[in-house]
Amino acid sequence: MKRDYYEILGVQRGASDQEIKSAYRKLALQHHPDRNPNNPDAEEKFKEASEAYAVLADSEKRGTYDRFGHAGLGGSGGGFDASAVQDFSDIFGEFFGFSDIFGGGGSGGRRRTRAHRGADLREDITIEFEEAAFGTETKVTYRRHESCESCQGSGSAHGKAPAPCRSCGGRGQVRYQQGFFSIARTCPSCQGSGSVISDPCTKCRGEGRIIRQKAIDAKVPAGVEDETRIRFSGLGEAGVHGGPHGDLYVVLHVKEHPFFERRGNDLHCVVPISFTQAALGTEIKVPTLEAEHALKIPEGTQSGEVLKIRGKGVPVLNGHGKGDLFVEVRVQTPSKLSKRQRELLQELQGITQVENKPERRSILGKVKDMFN
Ligand SMILES: [Zn+2]
Ligand SMILES: [Zn+2]
């Protein structure tokens, strides 16, 4: 049979939030496992009070409990989640480890280990447009911390094990009294590791790692774009005191192409054709990233028309297929005419009827949209 929450906290049913809070604080301080080591009874009482508080401090849960009792709070049997209570830290500050009690961290769980993961590194490289399209392999040279082989990364000379920290007695935390409360803080002498190096390695000055230049062969897959980041797992900074390496991120900067513009996997380019080629139709040679391609210009092609060459774009990154190549043809109006050319054009003009009506802008707009 579950005890009544008000009874557990020793308050009246109509108690104010403040009364509930201070009642809980009193009980929690009294029964906290840190103060009652190896006392399962106290731990049980502490958990009971915390559960009661978690419900009564939450006005919605409290209302439900008032009306329906334990049954109203669901069939979980009062399954208690310490993280659901926002103001535990408000009540206790950081000096009680709630996760240790409810999360099963164990009594030694609060001591920080000396080892920690190395930082990630970033290295920027510039590659050619074609290298981005087809992929490449390139050397990346960078500097990183590596584990000191003189001390095997321990930071301690002559293979001596680090000694327990005297300031905290190896606990990694120091407690001090502040009025009513005993407050625990990370030990400033050992940064919470609980141990200090009494005889530091001379090569790395006790850090356990040293800076080295490193070169790797970075494989750049086909289809990468400008600003693509490639992650090289474990190639970042060495961890401290035996911790794992961080990662290396290679950030690619792709050079522009003099002729092609890339949009996703598609390529765009502009090719000039003559006024007569446009009018009569023809076949022109268009460069692609690979071989030249014969492109048919239909009779009566307008300036600004876009012709698609399927599959001549950039390969899809980590996928199949390629984008397309879009060729915008731009009709060049003949200028600096010779006498003969002028005669022929004048003759043509005489037999061509042109109505100089303005065109609807929307048509022009559509063409422009394809390029934006
Ligand atoms: Zn060393
Ligand atoms: Zn210490």
Distance (angstroms) between ligand 1 centre and the Cα of 113 equals 19
Q: Give the chain's radius of gyration (CA, Å).
A: 38
What is the Å distance from ligand 1's center to 146 Cα? 10
Name the nearest CA neighbour of 261 among 289, 292, 303.
Answer: 289
Sign of CA dihedral 163, 169, 170, 174: negative
Residue 215 identity (one-letter amino acid): A
CA 292 from centre of chain = 41
C-alpha 164 – ligand 2 centre gap (Å): 8
Token representation of residue 164: 């327990």
Tell me how far apart the alpha carbons of residues 146 and 238 are, in angstroms, rounded to a whole number. Answer: 5
- Extract long-range pairs of 330-334: CB within 8 Å, 24+ residues apart: 330/270, 330/271, 330/272, 330/273, 330/303, 330/304, 331/272, 331/273, 331/274, 331/275, 331/278, 331/301, 331/302, 331/303, 332/272, 332/273, 332/274, 332/275, 333/275, 334/274, 334/275
CA distance 346 to 362: 32
Question: How far is the centre of ligand 2, averaged over its atoms, from the C-alpha of 189 (Å)?
Answer: 5
Length, in residues, of the chain? 372
Give the closest ligand to the alpha carbon of residue 160.
1
User: What is the whole-number distance in angstroms between the Cα of residue 209 and the centre of ligand 2?
Assistant: 22
pLDDT of 308 reads 96
* Distance from Cα 186 to the centre of ligand 2, integer Å: 8
Among all ligands shown, which has an atom nearest to the Cα of 164? 2
Q: What is the mean pLDDT of the segment spanning 112-125?
A: 82
Expressed in angstroms and rounded, the spacing between residue 170 Cα and the centre of ligand 2 is 6
Which residue did the predictor score with more confidence, 163 or 250? 250
Amino acid at 10: G
Please give the distance, rounded to the nearest whole angstrom, from the Cα atom of residue 95 to the centre of ligand 2: 16
Task: Give the distance (Å) from ligand 2 centre to CA of residue 174.
Answer: 7
| CA of 184 relative to ligand 2 center, distance in Å | 12
Residue 96 has pLDDT above 80, yes or no: no
Give distance in angstroms: CA of 158 to centre of ligand 1: 9
Q: How far is the CA of 163 from the centre of ligand 2 (A)?
A: 10
Ligand nearest to the CA of 192: 2
162 Cα–ligand 2 center, Å: 12
* pLDDT of 117 over the 80 cut: yes
pLDDT tens digits for range 283-300: 999 999 999 999 999 999
Dist. CA 200 → ligand 1 center (Å) = 8
CA neighbor of 148 nearest in space, from 88, 237, 230, 233 = 237
- Give the Å distance between the CA of 209 and the centre of ligand 1: 6
Pairing outcome for strands 261-263 and 181-186 = unpaired
Q: What is the pLDDT, as a whole number, of residue 340?
A: 95
Whether residue 371 is predicted with pLDDT greater than 70 in this model: the reply is no
On the question of pLDDT at 107 being above 50, the answer is no
* Distance from residue 270's CA to the centre of ligand 1 (Å): 61
Query: If you measure from the C-alpha of residue 210 to the centroid of ligand 1, how many angstroms do you get, rounded to a whole number?
Result: 8
Higher pLDDT, 116 or 286: 286
Give the whole-number percent of the chain exceeding pLDDT 90: 42
Ligand nearest to the CA of 207: 1
What's the confidence (pLDDT) of residue 108? 39
Percentage with pLDDT > 70 across the chain: 83
Distance 208 CA to ligand 1 centre (A): 5
Question: Do strands 266-274 and 325-332 pair parallel, antiparallel, or not at all (unpaired)?
Answer: parallel
For 120, 121, 219, 330, the CA distances from 246, given in Å and listed in that order, are 5, 7, 19, 52
Model confidence at 167: pLDDT above 60: yes
* DSSP code for 237: P
Higher-pLDDT residue of 256, 54: 256
Protein residues with C-beta less than 5 angstroms from the ion ligand 1: 148, 150-151, 201, 203-204
Q: How far is the CA of 139 from the centre of ligand 1 (A)?
A: 29
Least confident of 328-332, 333-337, 340-344: 333-337
Kindly report whether the global pTM for this prediction surpasses the value 0.75. no
